[in-house]
Chains A and B, each alone.
Chain A
Amino acid sequence: MAEPMRIGILALQGDVALHQARLAKLSVEAVPVRGADELAACRGLIIPGGESTTFLKLLEAYALGDPLVAFARERPLWGVCAGSILMAAQVQNPAQHALAILPITVRRNAYGRQNESFIATFPLRLPGQGALEQEGVFIRAPQVVAWQPEVAVLAEYGGTPVALQYGHHLATTFHPELAEAETMHRHFLALCGGERLAASSA
């Protein structure tokens, strides 16, 4: 039996609403997640953009770190901007704690402050698909400065990866929810089992 496709969005703070709107447009139920009990019903979880220091403080206050790591062992996570910082193994500028879900090192605010925020277009290569043009909105964005060979680079810009896949997890340093294309959201839904589910229930 297919369980309903419900995707969680970590809603401690940050850009929750635009992911929710985008998933609604794709006919997927998106639920804000603020506690460990709300994770159980989710097929995957988006950690949206926001401030990683605020996320860390609230994860600690509500003892949410371990449940998130446990969830990630079973189900897909997608970290967007601050979310990718939270999922990294190491964080620089400054050094801070992270959940070590992805074997990558991330440098915060790597391009500079808000005046250096920018929009760029680059090719995105999803597994089994040709290159698609993707618009990337980079806001005080981090940069992936080191990554293990088993991490697949889906897109790069300026010589560093901006979209990554590691097993069923995704990370993007730009904000797909601030651009038109639905490609990344669709890809995440596929990782969450939408396709596999459709095949197995036939």
Chain B
Amino acid sequence: MENGTGWMSETMRLKVGLAEMLKGGVIMDVVTAEHAKIAEDAGAVAVMALERVPADIRREGGVARMSDPALIEAIMNTVSIPVMAKCRIGHFAEAQILQEQGVDYIDESEVLTPADEAHHVAKLAFKTPFVCGATNLGEALRRIGEGATMIRTKGEAGTGDIIEAVRHLRAINRDMALIAQLSEMELMAEAKRLQAPYELVRYVHEHGKLPVPKFTAGGVATPADASLLMQLGAEAVFVGSGIFKASDPPKRAHAIVKAVTHYDKPGELLAASKGLGTPMSGIAVGELADEQKLAVRGW
């Protein structure tokens, strides 16, 4: 087929297929069933269940883990849209539990405290699809090599500062554009440079894009932020703390949904941006010490 998924197994096609359906949409972090209902009513294409939104994880500290399955179950019983949930990087037992529970996508996420500093979950073996964060193309292709069927930028979760998501998206785009220009005999050296699987570097060379959808996350707080990332080539947007840490979550959530649909129409963006109340207060990433950054988790 024209997007080149002929090499994919049946399971991979189904996993990528669901990601295709979420394109042009907004996936919202929710902590409770009540949040999930607000997100669905606002037009979210999916919700992400987690025990605390990233801004709270950042503020409260401690070990952040997979949510209580009872909470995830309550969310699954409340909304009809897909429900995603986070497991810790490398914590394949949490992933097994989430698969058993029947969530629609598992986010192996740097927002939670990593369980393994060297290894990510071997995702191909799972029936449930995985989304993983990436800060650059090599990292994105390593995760796809392990079986991730949706990539999102890491950004810097819980800050409300968009700069890292922009940096990651631009880095991925720049390396993809570079690979498209290379000659065939340069591809192995490029795979070595990126520390990425050769076959996937080759895919990018031939198709000029990732073999799975490329979404964005980390620091989205306003309709304009969402539009910015879409205009930079993101195919859908995750919003974490940006909604439920704002003064009027339903209104802001709906406005961000509209901004993603009309990401390239300034008139619609203007209308969607008006009178939303106070956004999350946020933390400038430049003021964070390196050890406070979440995006450096995983490799």
Contact with A along B209-252 (1 / 0, CB 8 A): 00000000000000000000000000000000000000000000
- Which residues of B (248-266) have their CB < 8 Å from a CB of A? 254, 257-258, 260-262, 265
Contact with A along B87-128 (1 / 0, CB 8 A): 000000000000100111100000000000000000000011
Contact with A along B1-32 (1 / 0, CB 8 A): 11100000010011001101111110000000
Segment from B37-45, B135-143, B151-159, B197-205 that makes contact with A: B37-45
- Tell me, yes or no, whether B145 is within 8 Å of chain A by CB: no
CB pair B25 A13 closer than 8 Å: yes
> A34 → chain B, closest Cβ, in Å?
6
CB pair B99 A114 closer than 8 Å: no
Of all chain B residues, the one with the shortest Cβ separation from A96 is: B80
CB pair B261 A34 closer than 8 Å: yes
- Tell me, yes or no, whether B46 is within 8 Å of chain A by CB: yes
Contact with B along A4-21 (1 / 0, CB 8 A): 000000011111111001
CB pair B82 A140 closer than 8 Å: yes
CB pair B20 A18 closer than 8 Å: yes
> A157 → chain B, closest Cβ, in Å?
16
Chain A interface, >50% SS class? loop
CB pair A119 B10 closer than 8 Å: yes
- Tell me, yes or no, whether A132 is within 8 Å of chain B by CB: no
A49-B20, A178-B13 are known; give 4 further A-B pairs, CB within 8 A.
A50-B23, A51-B82, A54-B43, A54-B81
User: B: which residues have CB within 8 A of A?
Assistant: 1-3, 10, 13-14, 17-18, 20-25, 40-46, 76, 80-82, 99, 102-105, 127-129, 254, 257-258, 260-262, 265
User: A: which residues have CB within 8 A of B?
Assistant: 11-18, 21-22, 25, 34, 49-51, 53-54, 57-58, 61, 81-82, 93-94, 108-109, 112-115, 117-119, 137, 139-140, 175, 178-180
20 A-B pairs whose Cβ atoms sit less than 8 Å apart in the complex: A11-B261, A13-B23, A13-B45, A14-B23, A15-B20, A18-B20, A50-B24, A51-B22, A54-B25, A54-B45, A58-B258, A58-B261, A61-B258, A113-B76, A113-B103, A114-B14, A114-B103, A115-B127, A115-B128, A137-B14
